Amino acid sequence: MTTSAICFAQGQIFKSFYIQPAAGLLCTLFLISAVLAFLTAVFGIYFDFLNHIKEIKLSYIILALMIIIAAAWAVTLARAIVENRGR
């Protein structure tokens, strides 16, 4: 995930998603939340869609993130196995 985050920070977004999809997704979510926080802090803009997010249970969000991370690791592991078979 570290390599993927470094690629994301360097602007290589597609490479970041290729290396580790979950890390690319998390970096994207962090970037979106940082932009929204900046707009709220500097300009006082309040986003109405955030009220709907509060209604979702935290356990569902954590479960969804765990599934995304597990699936991304499975994809990365499968890709590594396929690449090593060719050697």
Mean pLDDT of the chain: 87
Other C-beta atoms closer than 10 Å to the C-beta of 15 total 15
Other C-beta atoms closer than 10 Å to the C-beta of 76 total 18
How many residues in total does the chain contain? 87
For residue 87, the model assigns a pLDDT of 67
Tell me how far apart the 2 most distant CA atoms of the chain are, in Å: 57
For residue 68, the model assigns a pLDDT of 87
For residue 16, the model assigns a pLDDT of 93
Cα–Cα distance measured from residue 86 to residue 82, given in angstroms and rounded to the nearest whole number: 7
For 5-42, the pLDDT digits (tens) are 999 999 999 999 988 888 998 899 999 989 988 988 89
Q: Regarding predicted confidence, which is higher, 33 or 50?
A: 33
